[in-house]
Every structure is written in structure tokens, then in C-alpha cells.
Amino acid sequence: MIENYNHGEIEKKWQNKWDADELYRSVIDGSKEKHYALTMLPYPSGDLHIGHWYAMTPSDARARYKRMKGFNVLFPIGFDSFGLPAEGAAIKNNIHPKTWTYANIARMRGQLRSMGAMFDWKREAISSDESYYKWTEWFFIQLYKKGLAYRKMSPVDWCPSCNTTLAREQVWGDDRHCERCDTPVIKKELDQWFFRTTNYADELLNFDGIDWPQHVQTLQTNWVGRSEGASVVFKTEIGDHDMEVFTTRPDTLWGATFMVLSPEHPLVDEISTEDKKEEIEAYKDEAARQSDIERESTTKEKTGVFTGGYAINPVNDERIPIWIADYVLMSYGTGAIMAVPAHDQRDFEFARKFDLEVRVVVQPDDMETLDGATMEESVPAKGALVNSGPLTGTPGDQSVSAATKFIAEKGTGKKAINYKLRDWLISRQRYWGSPIPMINCEKCGWNPVPEDQLPVTLPEDVEWKPTGESPLKLHPTWKHVECPACGGEAIRETDTMDTFMCSSWYHLRYLSPDFHDAPFDPKEYDYWMPVDTYTGGIEHATMHLMYTRFFHKALRDMGVTEGHEPMTQLRNQGMVLGEDHDKMSKSKGNVIAPDALVDKYGADVVRAYLMFFSRWDMGGPWNSQGIEGTVRWMRRVWTIFNETVGTNVTPTCSAETKKSLRRKLHETLKSITYDFENVGFNTIISSLMELMNEMYKARKEGAVGTPEWDETTDIYLRMLAPVAPHIAEELWERMGKEYSIHTQEWPQLDESAIVVDEVSIGIQVNGKVRDRITVPADADEDTVKAAALASENVQKFLEGKEPRKVIVIKGRLVNIVK
RNA sequence: GCCGGAGUGGCGGAACUGGCAGACGCGCACGACUCAAACUCGUGUUCCCCUGGGAGUGUGGGUUCGAUUCCCACCUUCGGCACCA
């Protein structure tokens, strides 16, 4: 009688031993090739979620596989521990954010350990530690010195629930809501700190040399939103005030029949005539009052007001009216456009509403002759130019370049590129974040805190007002400092940094979390960087994953980092849904708690089921009945090993059984190796299940005690080890093998074991399988053909006719075409 | 509206470069064990008539000896973007 598998006891036993032996300590070893495997660091919200397990345990399995493959693997963990929930808890429960955060970290460390992951805890980094955020501040200063951090007054997105500004990337969806709390944001005009991400717009579009999912590349590419065109200067009738516009269609310049300024455009007040002032002011007020959602709604009917002013079209010196309308956004391009109603649908709708001229200047070949007076919609397609002065007749494929050349020669415009990407707004009006190390003096302006005074630490004696205002601002003494330039009285910046700043470089802090002279030890950097495989959720595609790329490139330009990209390979996992196929949430009551699962089934089963139940990049619904299959498999593994280890039985099986067991073993090894390399976890588990089923059959046939059996059990445990590290280690020990299984080599594939002498192939008649024959694997085409045609069933379907054609795919099938 | 992913049994999902669709698991059915049940073990399980066939990977077309895989059009669904000039 074999004892039951006591997962609680066995998992604890090995976790303690691995810890004591520092089995997962990763240190530089020049004799080995390195592999930096990184999983996105968690926020210490209090409890580990099944999503954390889903993200981390398959990543851990792959890191373990890489280690067995001979790599020196670094798989670190830490906490992204600044952020708003800590302040929420402070206000709600009257507990200091620091106390709350560090208590959560302590709790989550324990939960993370229960995964049995190969985390090197000596490299743990916590972004709210002074030793960490000292360097976050230091990086800010370097960016500032390099001209990549700057302060400006501008309309920014404000989350009224979080009481802070947000970066453009952190405002989501149609209703423009806060990425964190889903509250719709509002606009505020504020003086804030920005990073010049736009300096790197073009470089962020380049994914050469990195293996990132196409989907992420697309999201980032759309986010950067590069468009090529031309900037054109229109003179106005009021002298010094030129109007610059960006257009992607310089070929339509002759069709510009009016101009439109955004209501916020500074030129509006200059250009508008006295008699229009009142109307203009009213429109501006209305536009300001409207929310962005209303204003940017594409379904809304066009509105606008004539300013009374005129511009001169530089290509034909025509006098055209200047309007203001809220469909032109101040935040894109120059906040002003030339309107070509015949070839732009928005301009067309506006022109029809206000009865402005629609002039056709492009005539696509495949369309009837267009007529501006009667057309019912714009024609944005390219085509030969008409009514376009000297450029009339230019074919569509040359029209843009010809027009660009024309205005460049006239000195009134040039080729230009525009991006949707904005600079990264990093000021947050919150307490629990890394202070922005800047000081403002009335005389000297803004200056960085001298680097030898870093870190600027957060004061602990703070109070939260129900207004939600930052306690740093309200603190009586903290912000009053000496000006680093003149020594006079000055004020500290009381805003803190976006926490995405902390996570933009955590992979560097892991390298040497105790290093005091710099953010990281260059020796560690040289050995470990870049990250070889980065895993995490897709939701960060246009946030963290863009910020960290920007950060790396900016540091590269300062000589701090090397190479163009921080992470070579990226793989995203999907999301575990509730059993009802819905997103898990407390309110729906469909949350799966990993701690309870670990208690019930053990970490190994939870790990394996998470890998098994769906494709990792897709995720899917949890199924509490489905996990039972994984439990059964694990139990079968436990049973067969315990029942056969050390037994002295005489094998009774046939040579064919031994051979096919060995074939199955090496087939499995081959496919599992392939799957680990390609991050295909679900088929790793099913292959292990198949081989286990085969082992049960082989045992029944008397294979135990053969060298083939011994080889199979040895390799089986090695393949199991990355997936189910505890049970594999326990069985490895029971087999009397050398500790630890996790320092063993990945098994060697024997291709010759996979070679088969005979294959069973299907015979098709007209693409339908009608019979099967067994032929020698190396049989030549004619032999196979003859054997196929000899089949009775095939003859029946041929109905006495001669086959027109016979296709033989060696070792696979024969298709006879009637 | 634009961009991208997905659509395969009752369910989760396999299927390499165009080559035997449904691996593996859940569920279900039957059998063995048991006084009985659970566990475990074994067998079966795409659907429809059943001798043997016929149909079948969202729908309709196409290419091909052969299509879940490639091409075209469409439907559903999930993400992202959206008056971006």
C-alpha cells in the first residue's frame, strides 16, 4: 500500500531545504551562458491573486528549464510598492501607507514562496525603499540635466477620484476613464513635469532585433501614431501672424477653401474681427465647458464660427476665410488646419453645413468626373490633380511629392512628420511615491537637489485631509529648503513621480539591490543584461512597456545603459477568467483564491493546471472540475513511481514494448523541449500525461526492471521538474538519485529512438481516407503505391477505373485521384 | 469608421512547412473492484442514418490531388484606436 501524496508536508520540506541550500542563488559565472528571465513585478495589494500565479509559475517553469539546459539563470522578484492603494488604505483605515505596504509585502512574500518558484530572494528590490528611490530620483536628475525632463503649463488629465494628474497613456477607453479606478477624467490647466518621450518617437517604432509579439508592436506603433506629410505656412491678412498647418495631403492644397483654428488657438484673438468677437467668445466658452468626450464624439454634428479673418493660400494667393471649430484639436499638429472639403470628410461636413465652397482638385482614374457642387461625400482617394495650377495633370502616385517639392521651392512649406505620442506627464499630486528632487527658488528658478543630498525622503509625520490633497503640500516644514544655487529660501517640489517611473528600471535594480555607489553594479549589468525573456500582461503594452523602452534609450544616450532595447524577448500571458467566463471581481463573487487551492491540491497541481487549461497567451475560464484531471495525473505519477521504485521484479515484456516505450519517451522529450523553447505550456502538460498513460501500459506489459524503464523514469522526472518542482524532487530522492533534480541537466534526445521501421498510413481516394496500410518506413514510392492500389477497399471505390493520378507523401499518406 | 486577435465535439483545448481533424483533459456512458458508494482501474464517446456510408473546423466562394492551415467576400465576438488634419 502506497501512502497518499501529502503535498503540504512535502512541498514545505523542499521549500525549506532549497532555501537553506541557496539552491536558487544566481551569481555571475563567466563559464556559463546567462539567461535573464523576468516576470513583471507585483504591486503589494495584500493578497496574491490567481493572476499572479498565472503570470509567474509558467515563467518559473521556463526559467527552470533554461537552467537545466545549462544556462546561468537569473529569475528575480520584487515589489512595485509605491502607489495609490496605500494612500487609500491610509485614509480609510488610518494606517500609514508605509506600514500598510510593508505588512502586505511580508504577507505576499510568504504567498510567493508557496509557489515553489526559483526566485533569488537575495536580489529582491522594493521600489519604496529609500535605497531604491534614491536612484529613481537620481535618474530624474539625469534626465533633467540631459534636457529630457521639463516643466510646462498645459491642460492635463485629472482623475477626480485619485486626486492626481495622469499621463495620456493612463486614460483609457471611449469615456476617457482612469486606468486605475475607472473614473472619467477631467481637464485641468496645470504646471507639471514631463519627460520627452516624443524625442524617441521614431526609435520606439523600430522593433528590429527584438522578439516581441506582433500585437504589442502594433499597439505601440498605433500609439506613437506617426504620419508623414507637410507643414505649410499660410500668411494672414493681419501681417505678422502667420498660420502654420500640418497636412498629410499637400497634393490637395489647391482645394483648400477655408481654414480652421482650434478654439484654444492663440491666433484666434488676433485674427477675429470686432464684429465677430462676441460670437467667437461664446463659442470658445462653450468648447471649454464641454467634456472631451462630448467634444471628441465623431457622431456630433459639426459646429464652428467664422472669425472674420482671412488667410492667403500660398500656392495660388487666393483669399480664404478662417473659422474656428472644435473638431480641430489644439493637442495635435499645430492646432490649425487647411480645410479641403472635396477630399476630407470632416471638412466636407463642415462646408456643407456652413455653405462653403467644395472644390475638386483630385480626380481618381476609376471614378466619374467629380463635381464639388453636387457630390454627397468627400473623395479621400489619391488621383491625378485637376484645377491645381502648374501641378494640374500630375498623376496620383506622384502628387504628394510634387506638391511638397512645389511649396518647398516657394519657401512656404516643407516635408513634416507628426506623432500622436505625447510627452510623458510624470507629476502626481500624491504622497506615496518617489519625490521629484527639484527645488524652486524665486530668484534662481528650478534647480535639482544636489546629488550628494539624495534621497529626498518622504516625511513620516503626515496627515490626510478628506479633501484628498497631498499631505506633502500640507506638511508644515518639509517643503521649505535652502536654494541649492543661492542659499536663499526656496520651496521643494511637493509632487511625486508616476510609479511607472519606478518600474521603468526595476530590472536594473535586481542586478544589485544593495549596491550603494550607483543604481546598479556595472559588473552585474555587463553579465546579465539585457533581459532575455520578459513575461507579463498585455495591458501594459502602451504604458510600462513603452516607458521602459524610452527609459532604456534615454539612459543609453547618457552612457548609463548599453544596447537599444532592455528586453530581447517578450511574451504575454492572457487572463484567468472566473468559472462563469467573466472577468474575476469581488462583486461578481467569482474570484479564485490561490491560497485555498494550494491548501487543497498543493502548489505543483496548481502550477500544472494553470499551464494546462488553456493557451497561455489567451487565458480562459477557470474550471474547478477541470483541475481534477491534473490531480489525477499527479496522483498517477506519484503512484507509479512509488510502486515501482526499488522493486526487484523480472521484466516480462516483449522487445516491441520496450522499444515503443523508449520511442514514446524520446518523442515526448523532443516535443516538450520544443514547447519550452516556444512558450507552449499546455502541450507540455498533455505530452507528460500521454507519456504517463504509456508508462502504465508498459508496466502492465511487464516493462518494469528493464533499462528502458529506468531510462524512462529518470527522464520523466527531469521533464517534470520545471513544472512540478516539489514532487519531482521528492520522487528523485526516493529513487536514490543525487540531490537536487533542479541542478541536473536537461535530458539528451536520442533521435534514433524515434525512428520507426514501419508506419501506418492512410490511403485516400479523392481526398477521403478509405483504408490504412502498414508499410516499411523507408519504402519507396512505387512500393507504397502498389500496396495502396492492392487494397480491396480502394479498388471498391475506384469502381474499376484507372486512377488518374496517385500522390504519395512519404510516411504520411497516399491520395488516389479517380 | 480604422487596426489587430479569435471562431474546431456537451466543455477547455490539440493539429509542425498545405498531408490521416478532434491529441490531452473535463463531462458523460458502460464494465471491473465494492454489501453499497466514493476512489481507482479498463473500454467507449464529433454528428446523422447504421451493412456500409454521408456530413463536418463561423458563413459563402476560390486555389489545390489534398485546406482548420493559403486567397477573396461576409457574419459573430473580444481587444485597441478614433473629428489625429
Cα dihedral across residues A65, A70, A71, A72: positive or negative: positive
Task: Tell me the three cell numbers of residue A183.
Answer: 473614473
Q: Which of A383, A418, A453 is the last residue of a domain?
A: A418
Q: Which of A753, A769, A796 is the last residue of a domain?
A: A753
For residues A654 and A763, membership in a common domain is answered with no
Q: Is residue A21 part of a domain?
A: no
Q: Which residues of A71-80 are buried (b: 16+ CB within 10 A; e: fewer)?
A: bbbbbbbbbb
Closest CA relative to residue A264, chosen from A334, A311, A313, A321:
A334
The identity of residue A476, as a single letter, is P
A601 touches strand B (CB under 7 A): no
Phi and psi for A241 in degrees, rounded to 5? -100, 90
Task: Tell me the three cell numbers of residue A760.
Answer: 501506418
Residue A294 has pLDDT above 70, yes or no: no
For residues A604 and A630, membership in a common domain is answered with yes
Given pLDDT bands bounded at 50, 70 and 90, which one contains residue A300?
A: confident
Length of chain A: 818
pLDDT in tens, A316-370: 999 999 999 999 988 899 999 999 999 999 999 999 999 999 999 999 887 888 8
Distance measured from the CA of protein residue A615 to the C1' of nucleotide B19, in angstroms: 25
Residue nearest to nucleotide B41 (CA to C1'): A696
A418/A79 Cα distance (integer angstroms)? 37
For residues A255 and A375, membership in a common domain is answered with yes
Closest CA relative to residue A190, chosen from A137, A151, A149:
A151
For residues A157 and A216, membership in a common domain is answered with yes
Q: Which nucleotides of B are covered by protein (CB under 7 A)?
A: 3-5, 11-15, 19-21, 23-27, 39-42, 53-54, 65-67, 79-85
Q: Is residue A637 part of a domain?
A: yes
Q: Which of A374, A393, A418 is the last residue of a domain?
A: A418
For residues A604 and A703, membership in a common domain is answered with yes
Q: Number of structural domains, chain A? A: 4
The identity of residue A546, as a single letter, is M
Distance measured from the CA of protein residue A691 to the C1' of nucleotide B73, in angstroms: 45
Closest CA relative to residue A267, chosen from A337, A182, A371, A183:
A337
What is residue A283's three-state secondary structure? helix
> Can you tell me the mean pLDDT for A441-462?
94
The CATH number that applies at residue A719 is 1.10.730.10
Distance measured from the CA of protein residue A621 to the C1' of nucleotide B36, in angstroms: 36
Q: State which residues between 423 and 462 of chain A bring their CB within 7 Å of strand B.
A: none
- In 10 A of CB A599, how many CB atoms? 12
Distance measured from the CA of protein residue A781 to the C1' of nucleotide B17, in angstroms: 21
| Highest mean pLDDT out of A174-178, A257-261, A461-465, A467-471 | A257-261
- Please give the share of chain A, as a percent, with pLDDT higher than 90: 70
Q: State which residues between 280 and 299 of chain A bring their CB within 7 Å of strand B.
A: 295-298
Q: State which residues between 393 and 422 of chain A bring their CB within 7 Å of strand B.
A: 418, 420
pLDDT in tens, A96-133: 999 999 999 999 999 999 999 999 999 999 999 999 99
Strands (E), A357-433: 362-363, 384-385, 413-418, 424-425, 427-428
Distance measured from the CA of protein residue A762 to the C1' of nucleotide B66, in angstroms: 13
Q: State which residues between 341 and 380 of chain A bring their CB within 7 Å of strand B.
A: 344, 346, 349
Q: Is residue A391 part of a domain?
A: yes
Question: Which nucleotide shows the minimum CA-to-C1' distance to residue A769?
Answer: B20
Q: State which residues between 215 and 244 of chain A bring their CB within 7 Å of strand B.
A: 215, 218-219, 222-223, 225, 227, 229
The answer to whether the CB of A482 falls within 8 A of the CB of A162 is no
A632 touches strand B (CB under 7 A): yes
Task: Tell me the three cell numbers of residue A413.
Answer: 512649406
Residue nearest to nucleotide B2 (CA to C1'): A222
pLDDT in tens, A697-754: 999 999 999 999 999 999 999 999 999 999 999 999 999 999 999 999 999 999 989 8
Question: Which nucleotide shows the minimum CA-to-C1' distance to residue A336?
Answer: B85
Residue A314 has pLDDT above 90, yes or no: yes
Closest CA relative to residue A141, chosen from A133, A149, A151:
A149
Question: Which nucleotide shows the minimum CA-to-C1' distance to residue A625?
Answer: B26
pLDDT at A295: 66
Domain that holds residue A173: 136-222+423-500
For residues A671 and A650, membership in a common domain is answered with yes
Which 8-state DSSP code applies to residue A381? S
pLDDT at A64: 97
Phi and psi for A354 in degrees, rounded to 5? -105, 15
The CATH number that applies at residue A774 is 3.10.20.590
Task: Tell me the three cell numbers of residue A111.
Answer: 504567498
A497/A140 Cα distance (integer angstroms)? 9
Distance measured from the CA of protein residue A366 to the C1' of nucleotide B76, in angstroms: 34
- In 10 A of CB A22, how many CB atoms? 12
A678 touches strand B (CB under 7 A): no
The CATH number that applies at residue A216 is 3.40.50.620
A122 touches strand B (CB under 7 A): no
For residues A766 and A742, membership in a common domain is answered with no
Task: Give me Rg for the CA atoms of chain A.
Answer: 34
pLDDT at A774: 79
Residue nearest to nucleotide B15 (CA to C1'): A683
- In 10 A of CB A714, how many CB atoms? 17
Q: Is residue A105 part of a domain?
A: no
Residue the block writes with cell 512509488: A642
Angle at A264 between CA A258 and CA A266, to 5 degrees: 80
For residues A377 and A232, membership in a common domain is answered with yes
Distance measured from the CA of protein residue A538 to the C1' of nucleotide B58, in angstroms: 27
Ramachandran quadrant class, A506 (left: phi over 0; alpha: psi -120 to 50; beta: rest): alpha
pLDDT at A98: 95
Task: Tell me the three cell numbers of residue A4.
Answer: 497518499
Q: State which residues between 239 and 268 of chain A bring their CB within 7 Å of strand B.
A: 246-249, 262
For residues A275 and A412, membership in a common domain is answered with yes
A359/A182 Cα distance (integer angstroms)? 45
The CATH number that applies at residue A397 is 3.90.740.10
A567 Cβ neighbours under 8 A, 6+ residues apart: A38, A210, A212, A507, A530, A531, A534, A548
Q: Is residue A11 part of a domain?
A: no
Distance measured from the CA of protein residue A599 to the C1' of nucleotide B30, in angstroms: 35
The answer to whether the CB of A314 falls within 8 A of the CB of A235 is yes
Residue A456 has pLDDT above 90, yes or no: yes
Residue nearest to nucleotide B53 (CA to C1'): A770
Q: Is residue A167 part of a domain?
A: yes
Residue A427 forms beta bridges with which residues?
A497
Question: Which nucleotide shows the minimum CA-to-C1' distance to residue A583?
Answer: B78
- The least confident of A196-205, A235-244, A297-306, A675-684 is A297-306
Distance measured from the CA of protein residue A177 to the C1' of nucleotide B70, in angstroms: 42
pLDDT at A298: 64
Distance measured from the CA of protein residue A664 to the C1' of nucleotide B64, in angstroms: 34
For residues A707 and A762, membership in a common domain is answered with no
Q: Is residue A6 part of a domain?
A: no
For residues A323 and A429, membership in a common domain is answered with no
pLDDT in tens, A76-95: 999 999 999 998 888 888 89
What are the C-alpha distances in Å from A234 to residues A242, A319, A361, A391, A738?
6, 10, 19, 19, 81
Distance measured from the CA of protein residue A590 to the C1' of nucleotide B79, in angstroms: 22
- In 10 A of CB A284, how many CB atoms? 19
> Can you tell me the mean pLDDT for A636-656?
89
What does pLDDT average to over chain A?
91
A75 Cβ neighbours under 8 A, 6+ residues apart: A24, A26, A37, A38, A39, A59, A60, A63, A117, A118, A119, A120
For residues A765 and A724, membership in a common domain is answered with no
A435/A462 Cα distance (integer angstroms)? 15
State pTM to two decimals.
0.93
Distance measured from the CA of protein residue A664 to the C1' of nucleotide B54, in angstroms: 36
User: ipTM greater than 0.90, yes or no?
Assistant: yes
Residue the block writes with cell 473614473: A183
pLDDT at A293: 63
pLDDT at A404: 95
Residue A1 has pLDDT above 50, yes or no: no
Distance measured from the CA of protein residue A117 to the C1' of nucleotide B39, in angstroms: 31
Question: Which nucleotide shows the minimum CA-to-C1' distance to residue A245?
Answer: B85
The identity of residue A51, as a single letter, is G
Q: Is residue A699 part of a domain?
A: yes
A618 touches strand B (CB under 7 A): yes
A758/A520 Cα distance (integer angstroms)? 59
pLDDT in tens, A579-624: 888 888 888 888 899 999 999 999 999 999 999 999 999 998 899 9
